[in-house]
Amino acid sequence: MSNRKINRRAFLKASALAGGGLMLELSLPRFASAEELGTLVGSKELNAYIQIASDGQITIYSATPEMGQGIKTTLPMVIAEEMGARWEDVKVLNAPIDAKKFGLQGAGGSTSVPRLFDTMRQMGASARFMLIGAAAETMEVDRGRLEARDSKVVDADTGQSLTFGQLAAAAVRQPVPEPEMLSYKDPKSYTIIGKAISGVDNLVIATGRSEFGIDIDVPGMKYASYTRCPRHGGRAVSFNEAEIKRLPGVTDAFIVDPDPRSGKASMAFLSGLAALQGGVAIVGDDTWSVFDAKSKLKVKWDESGASTDDWQEMVEEGKRIARAGGGDVKKDADIDAAFTDKQNKVHEAFYQFPYVAHVCMEPMNCTVDFRPGKNGAPDTLEVWVPSQFPGQVREVAANLLGVDPANVTVHGTRMGGGFGRRAVHDFAAEAMSISKRAGMPVKLTWTRPDDIHNDFFRVGGFENLRGAITPEGKLAALDQHYIGFSKAGKPVIGSGIAGNEFTMTAMSNARVRQSMMDIVTPCGAWRAPGSNTNAFVEQSFLHELAELAGRDHVEFLLELMGERRWVVDGNVNVINTGRAIDVIKLAAQKAGWGKRMPKGSGQGLAFYFCHAAHIAEIAEVSVDADKKFRVNRITVAVDVGPIINLSGAINQVQGAVIDGLSTMAGQQITMSGGVIQQDNFDDYKVMRIAAAPEIDVHFIQSDYAPTGLGEPALPPLAPAVTNAIYAATGQRIRSMPLSGEGYVLT
């Protein structure tokens, strides 16, 4: 298991709590910039506090934003395990948003566990070291005969023990250990890691007591709505101001001009996305009043610089580019002879996938209290925001309002879903502007149509693929042409070929080209960016080639993996074909691959590698004569290294499968003349509970470093289902959503 040392710029310090307890803190010696902390994937210096009270209560502070991925439970489990604590003695609280103490506090890219696992182990092992040192002095014995377990330090020779609470006051006087002095528990002795632990917030969520951003209530607060131009990039010129202000419950209404300054961000992938879009703000006494007034708005828009994007035009242009060929070569190979060899079978297919929205169950919202400085004092700002990167709100405040980040207090709340959408703070920029103009605390809440229209969508796109199969049924060559979208000539998030996943780029006999069309429509990170669509295309096409070869799909896919190739130097971001083979075989075994299926039913397989995870999925689907289909069962085989919280891991896989199925079945965003055509759940369909399949999850507990699990179980779902539909009906599906092909999920 991984045992990397934490960066030496971070250090541990101990201090006493009132009542004789111990507080152990991992701190940064000075403020660290985002560049110093590294990228989202690379930073390893997020941290947590451990507090041990004299009564034995252990408090662990969770510094990573929680959006349902279970990180508030998972990371404290690692600390508690290495401490030797009983989980029943642990209380988990949210840490404050403080970059000086915690570094970059963020959640995204399925990186929280791989970034922080070693740090959390060091935190727990350091606490154990100090507690054992305190016990050795108290008992007057050699520390080598002491061990920490069940929230006690026990003398292995005599059985004498002292509780962590009894030792806390003495432990704080112990020297803080250097990293090289620490030892870590043997995984065979784990009592917490690997178990199924209920989420620490489950009870308060189930009883409606958890505080999401939308629940915030600040004294003296007003409520706000915000209306943007239907065409992205438009700005408000005038509106029926007098009429709106006369409406009951409305206290103010005004135009907000766009401000690109707010979009600047130190993290490159966020830069520009949070720019304030122009619109009309309405402030009132309650949410209903401002929503009602919003419905009566009549706005004159300046659309001279607004989007004119049109999905149907994109589709036609994508097909034209596919016919023309060309594109920038991303990977070249000498494959022309394979396609001209008359003994080989050649197959070509055109795939397309749509734009989709995030539709988090909690719409975007933000509460802001802007206080202008008086008598020369600086302006201050207090923000309550459900965000994947709450600390970045300080940058927005500095860029937009000129408030010193040191004078911005940020409270990160629990999120009702994120999936990448809450990494961008355009809605926070709106709330800041409204609070400053209104002169009071304001809670901005978006309507569902706002949430859909103003999203940073998963980008759509097209792929044209050709494959050549030898007379012996082997893959001779692949030619992949990705046709995607860009802004100012640069591919938008999620568009294009990454190159380090299991794509055609991983194969020596493949040529990959890429063409881009410029758009205005805003796009962003959507659960497993790029992978969620590339997997559909590539794993579906490989099944087409297996059929062309007359080969079993499992056999064909395993052959493509070749001999087991293991990763060199521990690089988890490159496919390990040995791990891939193992999950494919496990999924096939558990699903009963190749078993006899009833008429109108079929099995479909897909494997994908992304976010350092190796995952194979097999779908069992039944389809009737009217194209009504049901996904009866999904078997998932997963290798993400050691599982920390079995309950949370299963939830993540199940959630990804459900999300993937719901999206592929009936969701798409289309735009006409720059206007988004979908408004709410009546025309942007979300899967109903009755359609949920049985989901059978199997983990391979490998010794590799643990990796994230929030995203990688989603990409293989779509091709597994469409491959199963082909097995059941003989009809190949090359376009999502399935509703566009006449299929209805039941």
The Cα–Cα gap between 208 and 224 comes to 24
Summarised one tens digit per residue, pLDDT across range 129-145 is 999 999 999 999 999 99
Is residue 566 predicted with pLDDT exceeding 80? no
pLDDT band at 36 (very low <50, low <70, confident <90, very high): very low
Residue 49 reports pLDDT greater than 70: yes
The answer on pLDDT for 567 being more than 90 is no
pLDDT in tens, 421-479: 999 999 999 999 999 999 999 999 999 999 999 999 999 999 999 999 999 999 999 99
Q: Is the pLDDT of residue 501 over 80?
A: no
Look up residue 71 and give its two tokens. Answer: 């990180």
Backbone angles phi, psi at 679, to 5 degrees: -120, -40
What is the distance between the alpha carbons of residues 390 and 275, in angstroms, rounded to a whole number?
Answer: 16
Separation of alpha carbons 595 and 584, rounded Å? 16
Instruction: Check pLDDT > 60 for residue 398.
Output: yes
Render 684-741 in DSSP notation, one character per residue: S----GGGPPEEEEEE---SSPP---SSTTSTTHHHHHHHHHHHHHS----BSSGGGG
3-state secondary structure of 121: helix
For residue 80, pLDDT over 60 is answered with yes
User: Measuring CA to CA, how many Å separate 130 from each of 80, 134, 145, 204?
Assistant: 14, 6, 15, 34
Give the residue ranges of DSSP H helices in 140-270.
164-171, 202-206, 241-246
Q: C-alpha angle with apex 126: 124 to 131, nearest 5 degrees?
A: 95
Copy the structure tokens of residue 659. Answer: 């999300």
Q: Is 626 exposed, middle or buried (0-12, 13-18, 19+ CB in 10 A)?
A: exposed
Strands 510-518 and 475-487, sheet pairing: parallel
Q: What is the pLDDT of residue 571?
A: 62
Distance CA 332, CA 57 (A): 61
Peptide bond into 737 cis (omega under 30): yes
* Chain center to CA of 272: 20
DSSP state of 14: E
Q: Cα(first)–Cα(last) distance of the chain, in Å?
A: 43
d(CA 320, CA 389): 40
DSSP class of residue 455?
Answer: -
Going by C-alpha positions, the residue among 62, 59, 81 that lies closest to residue 71 is 62
pLDDT in the model for residue 434: 98
Cα–Cα distance measured from residue 56 to residue 399, given in angstroms and rounded to the nearest whole number: 46
Q: How far apart are CA 525 and CA 356, in angstroms?
A: 11
Per DSSP, 68 falls in state S
Per-residue pLDDT averaged across 400-416, rounded?
A: 97
Please identify which residue in the block is written with the tokens 């085989």. 637
Q: Which residue in 613, 700, 622, 626 sits closest to 656, CA to CA?
A: 613
For the chain, how big is the Rg over CA atoms in Å? Answer: 28
Question: Do residues 732 and 544 make contact, with C-beta atoms less than 8 angstroms apart?
Answer: yes
Residue 214 phi/psi, 5° resolution?
-70, -10
Name which residue leads in pLDDT, 13 or 230. 230
Q: What mean pLDDT comes out for the span 68-97?
A: 96
Read off the pLDDT of residues 646-673 as tens digits, 9 standing for 90 and up.
999 999 999 999 999 999 999 999 999 9
- Per the DSSP assignment, residues forming a β-bridge with 86 are none
| Contact in structure between 399 and 273 (CB atoms under 8 Å) | no
- Can you tell me the distance from the alpha carbon of 517 to that of 610, in angstroms, rounded to the nearest whole number? 25
> Pick from 23, 192, 39: which is nearest to 114 by CA?
39
Question: What is the per-residue DSSP string for 577-599?
Answer: HHHHHHHHHHHHHHHTTT----T
Quickly state the pLDDT bin for 39 (edges 50, 70, 90): very low
Top pLDDT among 295 and 177 is at 295
Percent of the chain with pLDDT over 90: 82
Structure tokens at 184: 């870590």
**C-alpha to C-alpha distance for 229 and 255, rounded to whole angstroms:** 12
Helices 646-666 and 531-549 meet at what angle, rounded to 10? 80
In this predicted structure, the answer to whether residue 723 has a pLDDT above a threshold of 60 is yes
Range with the poorest average pLDDT among 12-26, 448-462, 528-542? 12-26
Whether the pLDDT of residue 128 is over 80: the answer is: yes
Contact (Cβ atoms closer than 8 angstroms) between residue 154 and residue 161 = yes
Q: Do residues 541 and 465 make contact, with C-beta atoms less than 8 angstroms apart? A: yes
Instruction: Let me know the angle formed at the C-alpha of 50 by 45 and 55, rounded to the nearest 5 degrees.
Output: 180
Query: Helices 164-171 and 112-139 meet at what angle, rounded to 10?
Result: 90
Tens-digit pLDDT profile for residues 170-210: 998 898 898 899 999 999 999 999 999 999 999 999 999 99
d(CA 412, CA 393): 10
Between CA 79 and CA 92 the distance in angstroms is 11
Q: What is the pLDDT of residues 259-290, one digit of tens each?
A: 988 888 877 777 778 899 999 999 999 999 99
pLDDT at 33 > cutoff 80: no
Q: In this structure, which amino acid lies at residue 78?
A: V
Task: Provide the 8-state DSSP code for 163.
Answer: E
Pairing of strands 475-487, 279-284: unpaired
**Could you give the 3-state DSSP secondary structure of residue 281?**
strand
Q: Within 13 Å of residue 14, how many CA atoms lie on the same side as its CB? A: 22
Q: Are 65 and 104 in contact (CB under 8 A)?
A: no
**pLDDT tens-digit map of 199-240:** 999 999 999 999 999 999 999 999 999 999 999 999 999 999
Q: What is the pLDDT of residue 15?
A: 74
Average pLDDT, whole number, for the chain? 91
pTM exceeds cut of 0.95: no
Cα(746)–Cα(734) distance, rounded to whole angstroms? 20
Least confident range from 230-239, 554-563, 711-720: namely: 554-563
Q: Please name the residue that has the structure tokens 């828009």.
A: 301
Contact status, residue 457 vs residue 521, Cβ threshold 8 Å: yes
CA angle 401, 407, 412 (to 5 degrees): 90
Is 604:723 a contact under the CB 8 Å cutoff? yes
The DSSP bridge partners found for residue 52 are 22, 58
Instruction: Enumerate domains of the chain plus CATH numbers.
Output: 11-206 (3.30.365.10), 213-304+368-453 (3.30.365.10), 550-746 (3.30.365.10)
